[in-house]
Amino acid sequence: MKRRSFVVLFSALLSLTLTIQLHAQKIKVIVDQDARGPATTDMQSLLIFLQSDKFEVLGITTVSGDQWMKEETARTLRLLEIAGRTDVPVAEGALFPLLNSKEESERWEGLYGKLGYKGCWSDFSKRAHVPEAYRAGYHDPEVVPPLAEGEPHIKPIDESAAAFIVRMVHKYPGEVVIWAGGPMTNIALALRLDPQVATLAKELVLMGSGMYADSGGINGVDGRREFNWWFDPEAVRISLRAPWKKITITPIDISVKTNVSSEIHNAIAKADTPVARYLTQYSEPGFMWDELSAAAMIDPSIVTANKELYVDIDIDHGPSYGETLFWGPETKLPSYQRKATVQFDVDTKKLYDLYIKLMTQPPRGQ
């Protein structure tokens, strides 16, 4: 072989090796989300996963929560088009919680008091000071209203979210992080399909629950009744008691220390990219509920304080239905109770800097 041909072949092999190594270093993640849109905390967390080269997004699975699943799916597909990431598959998940329901929530309210936020069970058209993009009335689960951000041209895959989760953890045993930014219905259903999901996954990362917070809860005061977990408490119970290798939780205790401010909004508005234009047009100030949880996977130093706690949820259909339960690490509990790493404090400068960087950079491409 001539020297020049050898050099070319060696360079090609080296490049291939480096590409394979880089690909192997990425975090394989399934993003499970109740993707209310446009440009809410749900969608902004999806963009963190899509814009960062730290992740190999195996797929996005949608679940009813902040909106109904069918509408969320359409908004997620449209987001993928805007972000130039139509390579990422979307699997439709649960349309309803395992047991909780709109009627059950109304029964509870009649007995114990009104809840301030009920996601897809809410009528936002009757609320003051709601931006036009989110001023929607209640609609049936199968209805997908016109999307302010435009209609998608791509479709979800022909596979349920639960089946997709099962297939991915078997395909990549010990490598897949399941990140959930909404109700855990899809995860519970996947565990019921195949209990090995918990032992095959690398980690379960959750945005949800509340411990000590006196704000951020759906009734305005008690942080222990947090929306994601309240919406489907039975799914939380099934999911938290499974034997995961590791569970990490971003509760509202840390989320309420963050804010998508006008300064962040203005910094993003300076970028002339499809993602920046989408955020500039539709995003609103608010807590970085889900963005924080996603960003901490890229840079763990964003979270400056953690606690190891046993965590569960109350599923008694009384006044405490859907409230977070938690105990210190030294508490003597049955073996089915699982410890989790719970995040409690944040370096907001690092979070905001990373968020602005990701939201203003050019699309990653496919």
- 174 contacts 202 by C-beta, under 8 angstroms: yes
Q: How far is CA 123 from the centre of its chain?
A: 23
- Note the pLDDT of residue 21: 45
Q: To the nearest whole number, what is the mean pLDDT of the chain?
A: 93
Higher per-residue confidence, 16 vs 165: 165
Total residues belonging to the chain: 366
CA distances from 37 to 44, 45, 197 (A): 9, 11, 29
pLDDT for the residue numbered 207: 98
Pairing of strands 176-180, 90-92: unpaired
Q: Can you give the pLDDT at residue 134?
A: 83
| 205-240 pLDDT, tens digit each | 999 999 999 889 998 777 899 999 999 999 999 999
pLDDT digits (tens, 9 = 90+) for 249-268: 999 999 999 999 999 999 99
Amino acid at 148: A
Please name the residue ranges forming H helices in the chain: 3-25, 41-51, 69-83, 102-112, 161-171, 185-193, 196-200, 227-231, 233-240, 252-255, 262-269, 274-282, 289-298, 348-360
Sheet containing 55-62: which strands, arranged edge to edge?
90-92, 55-62, 27-33, 176-180, 203-207, 247-250, 339-346, 303-313, 324-327
Most trustworthy range by pLDDT among 91-105, 112-126, 207-221: 91-105
Residue 299 scores a pLDDT above 70: yes
pLDDT at 219: 85
| 55 DSSP β-pair partners | 27
25-360, CATH topology level: Inosine-uridine Nucleoside N-ribohydrolase; Chain A (3.90.245)
Q: What is the mean pLDDT of residues 102-130?
A: 92
pLDDT at 149: 97
- Token readout for 139 is 């609609």
Mean pLDDT of 63-80: 98
Average pLDDT over residues 326-330: 97
Residues 100 and 233: beta-carbon distance below 8 Å: yes
Q: In the block, which residue shows the tokens 């910094």?
A: 267
Amino acid at 213: A
pTM listed for this prediction: 0.92
Q: 24 vs 154, which has greater pLDDT? A: 154
